[in-house]
Chains A and B, each alone.
Chain A
Amino acid sequence: MSKSYKIIVVESSPLLVAGLKHMLSGHLSYDVVAVLESTEKLHDKLISLKPDIIIINPLLIDYTKRFMLKSMLLKTPPVVCIALVNAYVEPAVLKQYHGIIGLEDGKQKIEAKLREALQNDHRNEQKDNYELSDRERDVLIAVAKGKMNKEIADQLHISIHTVISHRKNISRKTGIKSVSGLTVYALLNNMIDEREVK
């Protein structure tokens, strides 16, 4: 049997809370363990109940802290955060959440969004990591040696699409876009030897 996920709902509207609970009831994977009307006790509940997911109305968070979701949750166990949106919320605030549920979403859509957020959870952890992964190093070395995407794909047995996505991540992490710049990076970090550069 699959794991059951514990959920805390933070929402002040009884109508929305009842509706959301109804949508999630009958689904064995999700278990609403607490409902809070404000964020006041959220911190304590996060520690005592250790939920997997919180579904929270971003507007209930004090506006000075609304942009700093991550730092708010720094001292609590990691949790997937879903925004429950019933009014306009700035995109920059929503960007912090792993998923967004709106008033139009039906039962299936909500379930799909929760599932997706749970899966994406780990990927999000990695995005904060600015070290190159082993695979990215392989791709970078090949790029620095002057190889084309197609050649790199063949050599590493991955698709061209994957090569391109690795290259995007490399540029994001290093801040270097041009092939010649990446070659300098690889040489400075002793990833390749001067004689290997065409």
Chain B
Amino acid sequence: MKAFIFTEKMKLSDLLSVNHHLILMIPRFGIEFGFGEKNVKEICEKYNVSTSFFLLVCNVYTYDDYLPDKKALLATDMRSLIPFLSASHDYYLNERLQFIESYLFKIADNCESKYGDTLKRFFSGYKQKVVDHFEYEEKTVFPYIDALQMGKPSKSYNINQFQSIHSNIEDELNDLTNILIKYLPCNLMTKERVMILNEIFHLSDDLNKHSLIEEKILIPYVEFLEKDNI
């Protein structure tokens, strides 16, 4: 779908009506609602966000097979990349997973205790895995990229190390949906199950795009910076 992609002259409110999932991106860029008829460029400038990167994210989140080619990637101002990814991590961990956990534990408390405990243990294990995954990125990868962007390459680290250990945090979510749909025996709690399943599907979609940005945008971009700094 290259036929139609978002551009800086479009009204931000129009972008959101094309794809309402983009409302999630607004706070991650520190933009506030109530932006009236302003176009994308005007708003990005007001909030000191890179317009080209903002559009890149909106396009990736809206058009399934949209990925920038190398030329477009190099033409993008990436100063908002790391703040955006960090804000996304914070949102996943402190909002979405928190919400899923509270409902899941409600369901678990209503099950026979040996099933309930299993479910809780599974989710806590998963959450820890996500925390570790994000922490590694925040403490090792992002500072490395920050330094690189300022022209200070590291001798001991390079992005290939990240590429080789970048783990998948979506499998368990998918497993959880199957467990809730097919296998968890306790009756009732239908309302909670629907809520939580809905929530997981949204989060999975979001995480998919997030990994796409890390793997197809962040990694190639950093590889380019590394070459540039040698």
Taking beta carbons and an 8 Å cutoff, which residues of A are in contact with B?
174-178, 180-181, 183-185, 187-189, 194
Additional A-B contacts beyond A177-B171, A181-B179, A187-B115 (6; CB < 8 A) = A175-B182, A178-B172, A180-B172, A181-B176, A185-B179, A188-B185
A132 to chain B, nearest CB (A): 13
A-B contact pairs, 15 of them (CB 8 A): A174-B178, A175-B182, A176-B175, A180-B122, A180-B172, A181-B171, A181-B176, A181-B179, A183-B118, A184-B119, A184-B122, A184-B175, A184-B179, A187-B115, A194-B117
- The answer to whether B178 touches A194, judged by C-beta atoms less than 8 angstroms apart, is no
Complex: how many Å from CA A194 to CA B184? 16
Please name all residues of chain A whose beta carbon is closer than 8 Å to the beta carbon of B176 when the two chains form the complex. Answer: 181
Complex: how many Å from CA A80 to CA B183? 35
Known A183-B122, A187-B118, A194-B118: A177·B185 in contact at CB below 8 Å: no
B178 to chain A, nearest CB (A): 4
- The answer to whether B114 touches A194, judged by C-beta atoms less than 8 angstroms apart, is yes
Residue B154 is within 8 A (CB to CB) of chain A in the complex: no
Known A188-B179, A189-B183: A181·B114 in contact at CB below 8 Å: no
- The answer to whether B183 touches A185, judged by C-beta atoms less than 8 angstroms apart, is yes
Known A175-B182, A188-B184, A189-B183: A181·B175 in contact at CB below 8 Å: yes
3 nearest A-B pairs in the assembled complex, by CB-CB distance: A181-B175, A175-B178, A176-B175
- The answer to whether A177 touches B174, judged by C-beta atoms less than 8 angstroms apart, is yes
Complex: how many Å from CA A183 to CA B183? 12
Please name all residues of chain A whose beta carbon is closer than 8 Å to the beta carbon of B183 when the two chains form the complex. Answer: 174, 184-185, 188-189
- The answer to whether A180 touches B126, judged by C-beta atoms less than 8 angstroms apart, is yes
Please name all residues of chain B whose beta carbon is closer than 8 Å to the beta carbon of A185 when the two chains form the complex. Answer: 179, 183
Complex: how many Å from CA A142 to CA B206? 34
- The answer to whether B171 touches A178, judged by C-beta atoms less than 8 angstroms apart, is yes
A182 to chain B, nearest CB (A): 8
Residue B125 is within 8 A (CB to CB) of chain A in the complex: yes
Partner of A178, one of B175, B182, B185: B175
- The answer to whether A181 touches B118, judged by C-beta atoms less than 8 angstroms apart, is no
- The answer to whether B115 touches A188, judged by C-beta atoms less than 8 angstroms apart, is yes
